Amino acid sequence: MADFDAVVVGAGFAGLYMLHKLRGLGLTCRVLEAGSGVGGTWFWNRYPGARCDVESFSYSYSFSEEIQQDWNCSHRYAMQPEILAYANFVADRLDLRRDIGFGTRVSAAHYDEQQQYWFVDTSGQGSFRARFLIMATGCLSVPKVPDLPGLANFRGEVLHTADWPREGYDFAGKRVGVVGTGSSGVQAIPIIARQAGHLTVFQRTPNFSIPAWNGPLPESQRQQMKNDYRALRTKARNSYAGDYADEYYLSILEMTPEAREEAFEKRWREGGFNYQYAFRDLMDNAAANELAADFVRRKIRAIVRDAATAERLCPRDHPIGAKRLCVDSEYYETYNRPNVTLVDIKSDPITGFSADGLKTRSTRYPLDTLVLATGFDAMTGALTAIDIRGRRRESLKDRWRDGAGAYLGLAVAGFPNMFVITGPGSPSVLANVILAIEQHVEWLGDFLRHAKAHGITEIEADAAAEDSWMAGVRDSADRTLYPQANSWYMGANVPGKPRVFMPYVDGFQVYEAACKEVAAAGYRGFHLARATDVAA
Ligand code: FAD
Ligand code: NAP
């Protein structure tokens, strides 16, 4: 059995930075990664059109001045191959690969209370013993394959956006169906439509999408951003969303109707998430939210020529922003193409599949290829897929049966020395995730340095501290419109999953201040023990 100070699971942006941090602390570490390369999300999600929805200059590591100066992003929103190349660039630059075991899926991790060690098992790639277990398994890393009736009968190709063939896929001339119109579907649909013979989109629920207005970054702008990096990163670090755009400076309800229309139009023209974050009342006032939602619906009607199709694309079942906004390139325009059909499977549900197509209650659709853009078992799926057992062999899956939680979104009572990067109860997916990762890795790095300096061998979240933290997370969410959507933030996209709002909604900057305060108070809410304390 191989022995390390720490085992890190996952080699996405979280695992890569964690490894670098642990090395800097002089700790031995092994990263275990199921995939055959680094990059996590960007390794797996290779579907056409995949790219970031936080701008490239923000969606990148800030911890190394050298890396941020040497990397060049080509577009406002980089495409998947470029982001994957960036992850590889970082791995090479920091010489990370030699401590990563690729093709290694962690199947179990059990804590031995006497020894204060985690024993980690993999599917055929060996076992490991480590003092610390750091789960960098990602919030969106377990693809959700829906239980579509009779799918096994279909003899055509079935592809999931989050497990896309590495060699790509040629849609030329094919009859293609897409199920799913979240961010993945919204990005993939315009590109597939340009290649396919015919594309049928099977939509259950429409989402709000804001244009990306993506394009190449001129060299002068790139240089300017690099020169301004220090100020931009500071601004992001002190913001709600972990980004450097101006936010929360307008109130929808306080504006005159004319000023409001102008403000919506301006944010629509600028594109991206600022349509949400510019307005301080958008997520906590239903009337304000409805005005912002209505503006987008009017845009959809203006873009999509067929009135019935436009109406089908207009979201009405949730407040805008309560599901993650999509950021698109010609998504609505795609429905003006003669080779694209939109089917509403809420009113005309899928009833089955034949060898060569899909059937709804009213119609048969011949298909060569079915693309599932059906999302993820988000926030918890990668963790509950592993047999994780803490004190008294309690399983994490059982612990989270009624809803996931972690103290600071980082540590779970009863699971000592285990830490979850961007876990439930932290800003994670409501922030620029790379910055959320950096903050967790850095805070945890400081904690482990403190532990090393003081001979602490066991760190455990206090159960009451965890409960109170998660009660705060829920109370804050309940003061917003977020819980009003059947979103993956709520676990609502996975049948049987408890409905608990998982991310921390009070803002990245407020969260980071809370973490700093916990550290300054001697890591309040954690039990710290030395091996001798336990022996005694
Ligand atoms: P991941 O990148 O998901 O990496 C986790 C790794 O853990 C994976 O490689 C996985 O194989 C591995 N793993 C999981 N379980 C095991 C196991 N049992 N054994 C071994 N290995 C395991 N966020 C943003 O902020 N901005 C964006 O623009 C953005 N765009 C996105 C686009 C897509 C298509 C998706 C799906 C997500 C996007 N996100 C975005 C969220 C994105 O997941 C994060 O930004 C970030 O990449 C997460 O990094 P991570 O290292 O935490 O997790
Ligand atoms: P998602 O937002 O969960 O969307 C899944 C889609 O599949 C929804 O339209 C859903 O419909 C549909 N669906 C699921 N099960 C279905 C079923 N049984 N029958 C019919 N339809 C079904 O997943 P995603 O699009 O992969 O995005 C997940 C998250 O990943 C995003 O919110 C974002 O955070 C991140 N992401 C970001 C980008 C980016 O732009 N950078 C791109 C992709 C993903 P319902 O709504 O009715 O459930």
Three-state SS at 374: coil
Ligand nearest to C-alpha 381:
1
The whole-angstrom separation of Cα 133 and Cα 113 is 14
- Single pTM value for the model: 0.98
Report residue 384 as tokens.
Answer: 């509950």
Q: Which atom of ligand 1 is nearest to the CA of 242?
A: 25
Q: CA separation (Å) from 481 to 53, 103, 110, 478?
A: 22, 41, 39, 7
Nearest CA to ligand 2 atom 31: 183
Q: Which atom of ligand 2 is nearest to the CA of 161?
A: 26
* Pocket (CB within 6 angstroms of ligand 2): 52-53, 140, 146, 179-185, 187, 204-205, 324, 327, 345, 373-376, 429, 488, 493
Beta carbons within 8 Å of 262's beta carbon, 6+ residues apart: none
Report residue 76 as tokens.
Answer: 């406002």
CB of 313 closer than 6 A to ligand 1?
A: no
Distance between terminal CA atoms of the chain? Answer: 28
Q: CA separation (Å) from 356 to 153, 352, 376?
A: 9, 11, 27
Nearest CA to ligand 1 atom 9: 40
Per residue of the chain (536 residues), what is the pLDDT tens digit?
Answer: 899 999 999 999 999 999 999 999 999 999 999 999 999 999 999 999 999 999 999 999 999 999 999 999 999 999 999 999 999 999 999 999 999 999 999 999 999 999 999 999 999 999 999 999 999 999 999 999 999 999 999 999 999 999 999 999 999 999 999 999 999 999 999 999 999 999 999 999 999 999 999 999 999 999 999 999 999 999 999 999 999 999 988 999 999 999 999 999 999 999 999 999 999 999 999 999 999 999 999 999 999 999 999 999 999 999 999 999 999 999 999 999 999 999 999 999 999 999 999 999 999 999 999 999 999 999 999 999 999 999 999 999 999 999 999 999 999 999 999 999 999 999 999 999 999 999 999 999 999 999 999 999 999 999 999 999 999 999 999 999 999 999 999 999 999 999 999 999 999 999 999 999 999 999 999 999 998 665 54
Q: Tell the residue number behind the tokens 């078992």, with chain if given.
A: 377
Nearest CA to ligand 2 atom 28: 375
Nearest CA to ligand 2 atom 3: 375
Nearest CA to ligand 2 atom 36: 183
Three-state SS at 209: strand
Ligand nearest to C-alpha 322:
2
Q: Which atom of ligand 1 is nearest to the CA of 382?
A: 15
The whole-angstrom separation of Cα 199 and Cα 307 is 19
Q: CA separation (Å) from 91 to 96, 310, 418, 442?
A: 5, 45, 24, 18
Q: Which atom of ligand 1 is nearest to the CA of 435?
A: 25
| d(CA 517, ligand 1 centre) in Å | 28
Ligand nearest to C-alpha 42:
1
Give pLDDT, residue 532. Answer: 67
Give pLDDT, residue 534. Answer: 57
Nearest CA to ligand 2 atom 26: 375
The whole-angstrom separation of Cα 384 and Cα 155 is 32
Nearest CA to ligand 1 atom 52: 138
- Taking the alpha carbons of 459, 460, 464, 466 in that order, is the dihedral positive or negative? positive
| d(CA 43, ligand 1 centre) in Å | 9
Contact by Cβ (8 Å): 192, 178 = yes
The b-or-e profile of 433-443 (16+ CB within 10 A means b, else e) is: bbbbbbbbbeb
**Ligand 1 mutation target, pool 18, 41, 59, most atoms within 8 A of CB:** 41
Ligand nearest to C-alpha 17:
1
The identity of residue 141, as a single letter, is S
CA 120 to chain centre: 25
CB of 433 closer than 6 A to ligand 1?
A: yes
CB of 180 closer than 6 A to ligand 1?
A: no
Nearest CA to ligand 2 atom 10: 180
Nearest CA to ligand 2 atom 24: 375
| d(CA 494, ligand 2 centre) in Å | 11
Contact by Cβ (8 Å): 262, 291 = no
Give pLDDT, residue 466. Answer: 98
Give pLDDT, residue 536. Answer: 45
